[in-house]
Amino acid sequence: MLLLPALCYSHYTSTYSRATYYGSPDSLGTPTGACGFGEYGRTVNDANVAGVSRLWKNGTGCGACYQVRCKVPQLCTDYGVYVVVTDYGEGDKTDFILSPRAYGRMALPDKSAELYSYGVVNVEFRRVPCWYKGYNLQFKVHENSRYPHYLAIAILYVAGQNDVLAVEIWQEDYQEWVAMRRAFGAVFDISSPPEGAISLRFQVSGSAGLTWVVANNAIPSDWKAGVAYESEIQLK
């Protein structure tokens, strides 16, 4: 799935910075990114992904979408590239370390090789809404999970301009919501999760302010590590 440009133009002011790219044998993202997205972090948005540092925000920046345009007019398009944050990365005064595919897509036709030779380029960027055509929000059980004693999750396909600030799990025995810990990046975890189907709620910060979104029976009782479970939720 690819972020569509028609939904991404906005009135928000651009910020000037620098961008570079990381090595990748297939020009895609990395499944070991610090957000904890796994294979999703390698291929989401047609592998137009990025690592960030200043925009990391202790992992809250994971999954955010940005338009990045390089400022070398003889080499670069006016459109630039739309990327999803999937990793943490620090460069030489850069805000973005792009996948090779994303970096090359800032270039005019037949100019990508020359743009790669720059290594680091001046850019302007702005936050834009994410939109994943045909995908509802998914709850991925992280590979580190150990059924039934330890559950770690990451929320995928978070559309709009929404940051996931907190996740809570419903404890039926106590009739209360219990906070999950942000383990790293976009991964939240809890020891001794409740038996049965897992209901979750998560707090998002977006254009509507702070809101809680409830996902009843988001994860089945026989959950498995590495599996992503689709919901009926679509954020805007």
State both tokens at 134: 């045909």
pTM (2 d.p.):
0.93
DSSP letter for 193, please: P
Single-letter amino acid, residue 236: K
pLDDT tens digits in sequence order for the chain, 236 residues long: 455 443 344 445 899 999 999 999 999 999 999 999 999 999 999 999 999 999 999 999 999 999 999 999 999 999 999 999 999 999 889 999 999 999 999 999 999 999 999 999 999 999 999 999 999 999 999 999 999 999 999 999 999 999 999 999 999 999 999 999 999 999 999 999 999 999 999 999 998 899 999 999 999 999 999 999 999 999 98
Q: Is 172 exposed, middle or buried (0-12, 13-18, 19+ CB in 10 A)?
A: exposed
Tell me the pLDDT tens digit for each residue of 170-213: 999 999 999 999 999 999 999 999 999 999 999 999 988 999 99
What CA–CA distance (Å, rounded) separates 100 from 82? 13
- HSE-CB at 46 with a 13 A cutoff on CA atoms is 13
Cα–Cα separations (whole angstroms), residue 180 to 83, 140, 176, 223: 28, 15, 13, 17
Determine the Cα angle at 179 with ends 173 and 182, to 5°. Answer: 140
Could you tell me what percent of the chain has a pLDDT over 90? 92
What CA–CA distance (Å, rounded) separates 66 from 125? 7
Is the peptide bond preceding residue 109 cis, with omega within 30 degrees of 0? no
Neighbours of 233 (CB within 10 A): 18
What CA–CA distance (Å, rounded) separates 106 from 68? 8
Tell me the pLDDT tens digit for each residue of 17-40: 999 999 999 999 999 999 999 999
